[in-house]
Chains A and B, each alone.
Chain A
Amino acid sequence: MREKVLMMGNEAIAEAAIVAGCRHYYGYPITPQNEIPNYISRRLEELGGTFIQSESELAAVNMVFGTGLTGTRAMTSSSSPGISLKQEGISYLAAAEVPAVIVNIMRGGPGLGGIGPSQSDYFQAVKGGGHGDYHSFVFAPSSVQESVDVVIDAFDIADKYRTPVMILGDGILGQLMEPVVFPKMKEIKNERPKWALTGCKGRKPNVIRSLFLDPYVLENLNKRLEKKYDKWKKDEVRYEEYCVKDADILFVAYGTLARICKAVVRDARKEGIKAGLIRPITLFPFPEEALKKSARGKKFLLVVEMSMGQMLEDVKLAIGDSVPIHFYSRTGGVIITPDEVYGVMKKYLKM
């Protein structure tokens, strides 16, 4: 059995990238994700990898672009205001179909906001974020162990689909300490994909680009990207169902808030209230079908978020008018307590 270690979320994310074979990290300091660059700078120096503390988020994401286009695994991390700066690069990564892993440990916004945990970058993460018709693949882990697991998967998804993949965590997840088990260190392959820029020995030159002045060629790129996203919706959706089958009421929450809701479900069941939870693990692709199925016949859905109602829109799009949907949120770094959620649930039960 592999060893269980007690680790902070941010550091575990950094170590998971190492385990996944990432030897190139570029980033810029910002709270509450600083333990990622702090930790990975040391590890990469030990392993002879590349760590650059760049002059800006723009620089960092474009260094990731440069390493990614050689078919080499690269990662950057930041928190909300820094992720806004990276959006230019993320749009280019999506358009040029260059794999990359981007971690966003969300803090409260808008603007400089605060440093408390938040989920207010949901729209930015799942709807594109930068300019143009594109999506990133978005994972939303809810524990340190799951962060490790999805970071490792994120590199595989990025390579398989030639796409930017975002890990969307919040400040709680980044700072939380939990026991975690790492899988075996992946071997780093020297073999690189055919599309990558590796020098044109024995082949025609490769070009990485996102400028297509011919509108028909650009339209084809958009159609190809759409096909990719359809495939994700078909093959790559992930979610967790907890006590859903016999439930009368269904919580919908992701990330650390899903854990708070899970505690509420347990407490409710002790009192004979049949509550359940559905937790999207991938936010894009969103588990629409699973949600539709789970919601069928429930008294109501209670969406709980640390935003003014961002995932709520996707829940509404999936469910329509078939089941009443209630919403509860706190923002700006205010953490929702199980008691608060319990009270809200009781209020709607009485209505």
Chain B
Amino acid sequence: MEVKFKRPESMTDLHMLYCSGCGHGIVHRLIAEVIDEFDMREKTIGVIPVGCAAFAYDYFNFDVSEAPHGRTPCVATGIKRVFPDYFVFSYQGDGDLAAIGTGEIIHTANRGENITVIFINNGNYGMTGGQMAPTTLLNQKTTTTQFGRSAKLHGYPLKISEMLAVSPGSAFIVRCCLTSPKRIIETKRYIKKAFETQKEKKGFSLVEVLSSCPVNWKLSPVDANKRIEEIVSKEYPLGVIRDVA
């Protein structure tokens, strides 16, 4: 019998420890599928963040390094400058990329660093128990905004992909989500396009994925997806933000 659907070679067969409904597992798989499709597993180095996705080194079946919180694109830069023909990507959450690593991501994009960034935006700090992230929506309750995020007290949801898109160093920036099979297929297409951009040495590429964190959002996985469709994607519009690739 012909096998129609199997585990990509770029993934290990370990069971993932992520919570039900979390987007990390899906995105890991999409990255692995794309790397396999380019036949680049042996020439890929991933840089993973601090946060829930720190466990990704167990799940990816290629060379992976950790990075200090927010310095992920700097570590990726140091690798890419040694191996310009490899796939080098950083995998970052919203705390990593949009809070503690804001300076790093802006300058990496602005240098047109030829790496790919996978940016998981779930609007809170999942690993540490659901604190406010820069991306947290107004009125959203988190463990550090227990009466809801207020613009006056906590500032506004940070649209960092739009900020990065201003730089001529950014070649391809897109925002997508995982709320349906259609959306997942679309996200994979964007991830592929981002790596294609890197392959053709066109500059910085970033895929922002609106992902859910049902446990900290205190919603069922289905309701969490509904929240992304109906509320989150209104604040963070889906689609291509910059494409000069």
Contact = CB atoms under 8 A, between A and B. Distances in A.
A26 B78 contact: yes
A55 B103 contact: yes
Interface stretch (A56-64, A152-160, A274-282, A324-332): A56-64
B47 interface: yes
The main secondary structure of chain A at its interface with chain B is mixed
Interface centre among A26, A52, A56, A200 (most CB of B within 10 A): A200
Interface in A52-81: 52, 54-56, 58-60, 62-70, 72, 74
Contacts of B79: 66-67, 69-70, 197
Nearest to A50: B81
A47 interface: no
A38 interface: no
Interface stretch (A201-209, A220-228, A299-307, A315-323): A201-209
Contacts of B54: 211
B74 interface: yes
Contacts of B45: 70, 197, 199
A54 B67 CA distance: 17
Nearest to B50: A211
Contacts of A337: none
B64 interface: yes
A59 B57 contact: no
Contacts of A26: 78
Given A59-B104, A199-B43, A199-B45, A88 B78 contact: no
A59 B107 contact: yes
B60 interface: yes
A199 B45 CA distance: 6
Contact of A66 (B41, B61, B75, B103): B75
A243 B48 CA distance: 55
A210 B67 CA distance: 9
Nearest to A206: B63
Contacts of B80: 66
A58 B65 contact: no
B107 A205 contact: no
Contacts of A206: 63
A139 interface: no
Nearest to B81: A50
B57 A207 contact: yes
B67 A211 contact: no
Contact of A69 (B65, B86, B104): B65
Interface residues of A, number: 38
B81 A59 contact: no
Given A66-B77, A199-B43, A59 B103 contact: yes
Contact of A62 (B41, B43, B50, B74): B74
B76 interface: yes
A69 B96 CA distance: 21
Given A58-B104, A62-B67, A197-B45, A70 B74 contact: no
A251 interface: no
Given A62-B74, A66-B74, A210 B66 contact: yes
B175 interface: no
B1 interface: no
A71 B75 CA distance: 13
Given A55-B107, A200-B62, A209-B57, A24 B75 contact: no
B75 A62 contact: yes
Nearest to A59: B74
A199 B107 contact: no
Contacts of A52: 77, 81, 111
Contacts of B41: 200
Contact of A208 (B42, B66, B68, B76): B66
Contacts of B111: 52
B43 A70 contact: no
A197 B50 CA distance: 19
Nearest to A26: B78
Contact of B66 (A67, A96, A200, A205): A96
Given A59-B107, A66-B79, A67-B82, A199 B44 contact: yes
Contacts of B18: none
Contacts of A208: 64-66
Interface of B: 41-45, 47, 50, 54, 57, 60-68, 71, 74-83, 86, 103-104, 106-107, 111
The 4 closest A-B pairs by CB, nearest first: A66-B78, A62-B74, A62-B71, A201-B42
11 contacts: A52-B111, A55-B103, A56-B103, A59-B74, A62-B75, A63-B81, A66-B47, A66-B67, A88-B68, A199-B44, A207-B63
